[in-house]
Amino acid sequence: MTDPLPDPIPAATLILMRARASGPPELLMIERSPDMAFAAGALAFPGGRIDPEDHAAAAGLPGADAAARIAALRETVEETGLGGDLSPEALTPFARWCPNFAETRRFDTLFFIAEARPDWPQPVAREAEAARAFWASAADTLAENAAGRAHAIFPTRRNLERLARFASIEEARADAARHGVRKITPWVEERGGEKFLCIPEGAGYPVTAEPLATARRS
């Protein structure tokens, strides 16, 4: 008999986008600390679980996702030192992922996008939270992953592929409005004798299936 999956932990992530003089925007990324219990050493967007203090701080703010917005900002500040000048209202809902893998920890994560201000200092990784923090385009981050010089978990890669299509944060916001935020829960199906990890079509993601062997290894 299969053990029941643990209840998902509510979490929030912030995708900060910074415009450049030319080329697509850069994204604020972190490399998770190698000793973390979840996604150790992986490239990710800043984020983490929604704490009771986030709910308290969100009291009086509009929207059912107010505590998630507070958490996304708090975690970004804790991990990189950036984002503290943003208000919760400056965040745009972008995605929601709730994988059902048999992991020790499962997260039901709301993803937000926001625009970084040009006068912000460089990010500084907080030792307990991240090994490094840096700016990079979605395409460059995907290239690092493909070359084996870095790794990112399945939801991060799918969101990077989606973000790589945008030339500006305005395009990203328009795409979010066009598709809405729907909960993405990947599933496994067999295609031509090979197992694939899949997500729904029509949710804004250009890649909706990956062989299970590589999807779970990266």
Q: Where are the domains of the chain?
A: 9-185
For the chain, helix (H) and strand (E) counts, in that order, are 6, 11
| Average confidence (pLDDT) over 73-81 | 96
Structure tokens at 200: 């729904």
Q: What is the pLDDT of residues 7-55, one digit of tens each?
A: 899 999 999 999 998 899 999 999 986 666 566 678 999 999 999 999 9
Question: Quick one: which of 116, 97, 134, 91 has its CA closest to 25?
Answer: 116
End-to-end CA distance of the chain: 28
Q: 11: how many CB neighbours lie within 10 A of its CB? A: 23
Residue 1's pLDDT is 44
| Average confidence (pLDDT) over 165-174 | 97
What pTM was computed for the model? 0.93
Question: Quick one: which of 210, 205, 206 has its CA closest to 188?
Answer: 210
Residue 131 banded pLDDT, cuts 50, 70, 90: confident
Q: What is 9-185's CATH number? A: 3.90.79.10
CA distances from 14 to 62, 96, 170, 210 (A): 19, 12, 16, 25
